[in-house]
Amino acid sequence: MEVLMRIRGIHHIAIIAGDYPSCKRFYTEVLGFSIIRETYRQDRDSYKLDLSVNGKYQVELFSFPDSRERASWPEAQGLRHLAFEVDDVEEAAAELSAKGVTVEPVRTDELTGKMFCFFQDPSGQPLELYQV
45: β partners: none
- Check residue 75 and give its pLDDT: 66
Residue type, 24: K
- Check residue 11 and give its pLDDT: 87
- Check residue 114 and give its pLDDT: 96
pLDDT tens string 23-46: 999 999 999 999 999 999 999 999
| Residue ranges of the chain whose pLDDT lies below 70 | 1, 7, 72-77
- Check residue 2 and give its pLDDT: 75
- Check residue 65 and give its pLDDT: 86
Q: Could you tell me which of 54, 117, 52 has the C-alpha nearest to residue 127?
A: 117
Distance (Å, whole) CA 41 – CA 72: 28
Is the Cα torsion angle 89, 90, 95, 97 positive or negative in sign?
A: positive
